[in-house]
Structure 1
Amino acid sequence: MAEGCIFCDINTGRAPATFVGEWCDAFAIVPINPVVEGHVLVIPKLHVVDFTDDPDVTAATARRAAELAADIGPCNLITSRGREATQSVFHLHLHVVPRAANDGLALPWYSGKRR
């Protein structure tokens, strides 16, 4: 556990969250500001900074995200590494974002230009 890490605090019960799933190695919560209904974060219980920190933990967390996403239909699975890449909490977390036609969400790397 990392001192001052909100996800570590949630994992140990020191901070509140709305849980939607939990496994021996990870948990899933509703983010503070979900971008669409059904948006969840899948977070490893072990503190790792990002997806490069421990590839085995990343793989296990991605497996949990896949299990959770299997029943929701079209979705994005998104994670970031570094502030410049929009990482705001430095504990690995995977966003599972349900998608629908014309939902108005643009991925961060969408330039609006057609090739």
Structure 2
Amino acid sequence: MAGTAAARVVRRWPDALALHPLGPVTPGHLLVVPLRHVPDVTTDPEVSAALMRRVAEIATPPCNVITSAGEVATQTVFHAHLHVLPRSCGDGLLLPWSIPAADSGPPPPRRNSL
């Protein structure tokens, strides 16, 4: 049943919660979740802006703020949320775009845009 899972709430606002996820990927990993249901951050700009405002209140650099919209984009929970991932040197967390693709061959030639 929705709303019955135990959660360690870190901060509560009138429009959102910050909580510890069940499987944190870095120490201090938090989820910031709106209380109003929207499937993802593309659904309602007002909810998304308020959610980012809450992240700005609790996040401390260095950090990543990450979300996904849609199954193809790796979204598995269809309620908008932002991951706040504190970072430190050597924490071992690699983001997909920071890993060179294996066997991708040489980069394509650059075209002159002039």
- Shared fold (TM-score, shorter chain, > 0.5): yes
What CA distance in whole angstroms lies between the structure 2 residues aligned with 1:91 and 1:74?
Answer: 26
- One of 47, 57, 61 as aligned partner of 1:67: 57
What CA distance in whole angstroms lies between the structure 2 residues aligned with 1:43 and 1:76?
Answer: 16
Partner of 2:110: none
What CA distance in whole angstroms lies between the structure 2 residues aligned with 1:75 and 1:66?
Answer: 11
Q: How does 1:1-115 map to 2 (within 5 A)?
A: 6=2, 9=3, 14-69=4-59, 72-112=60-100
**Root-mean-square deviation (Å):** 1.5
In structure 1, list runs of 5 or more residues that go unmatched.
none
| Cα displacement (A) at 1:87 | 0.7
TM-score by length of 2: 0.83
In structure 2, list runs of 5 or more residues that go unmatched.
102-106, 108-114
Decide which structure has the larger Cα Rg and report it: 2
Partner of 2:111: none
Residues 29-77 of structure 1: CA deviation (Å, up to 9, x unaligned): 10010001100000000000001110100000010011010xx330000
What CA distance in whole angstroms lies between the structure 2 residues aligned with 1:109 and 1:42?
Answer: 23
- Identical counterparts, % of pairs: 53
What CA distance in whole angstroms lies between the structure 2 residues aligned with 1:22 and 1:36?
Answer: 22
TM-score by length of 1: 0.82
What CA distance in whole angstroms lies between the structure 1 residues aligned with 2:99 and 2:93?
Answer: 13
Which secondary structure does the structure 2 equivalent of 1:65 belong to? Answer: helix
Aligned residues: 102
What CA distance in whole angstroms lies between the structure 1 residues aligned with 2:72 and 2:85?
Answer: 21
User: Partner letter of residue 99 of structure 1?
Assistant: R
